[in-house]
């Protein structure tokens, strides 16, 4: 892979709702009764590698990294919050940031609104 491991792009993509869906579907097909996963399950996930010669890829990569850093910072703020009201406000910001990351990842993969709707259906597990 040509994605720097020290960056936040890869964790952003891998922690997106799309990858949770893809991973869940691949595990269910491979071994529906299995409750664990292995490196082999992860290494075959189709991670989009940005082409930094394309300005739109460069912009999306940088935007994902900024949003992931924001998500990390918000998580720290949430854990440090002393009041329930403050924690609730931060949790709403976390949810919005997660949605922004998900939309960027959907865009990376060129998903249609119909495909996004399938991914965002509530999961009954």
b or e along 23-56 (b: 16 or more beta carbons within 10 Å of the residue's beta carbon)? beeebeeeeeeeeeeeeeeeeeeeebebeeeeee
Q: 2 pLDDT band (50/70/90 cuts)?
A: very low
DSSP letter, residue 121: S
Q: 22 pLDDT band (50/70/90 cuts)?
A: confident
pLDDT in tens, 37-94: 677 777 777 888 899 999 999 999 999 999 999 999 999 999 999 999 999 999 999 9
C-alpha–C-alpha distance, residues 25 and 65, integer Å: 26
Whose CA is closest to 119, among 20, 9, 12, 15?
20
Domain boundaries along the sequence of the chain: 9-119
- Residues 10-28 have a mean pLDDT of 85
């Amino acid at each position: 892979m040509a994605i720097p491991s020290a960056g936040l792009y890869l964790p952003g993509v891998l922690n997106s709702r799309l990858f949770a869906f893809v991973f869940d579907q691949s595990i269910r097909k491979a071994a529906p009764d299995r409750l664990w996963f292995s490196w082999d399950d992860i290494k075959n996930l189709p991670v989009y590698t940005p082409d930094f010669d394309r300005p739109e890829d460069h912009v999306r990569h940088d935007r994902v990294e900024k949003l992931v850093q924001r998500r990390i910072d918000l998580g720290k703020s949430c854990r440090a919050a002393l009041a329930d009201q403050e924690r609730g406000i931060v949790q709403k910001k976390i949810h919005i940031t997660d949605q922004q990351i998900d939309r960027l990842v959907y865009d990376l993969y060129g998903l249609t609104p119909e495909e996004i709707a399938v991914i965002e259906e509530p999961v009954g597990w």
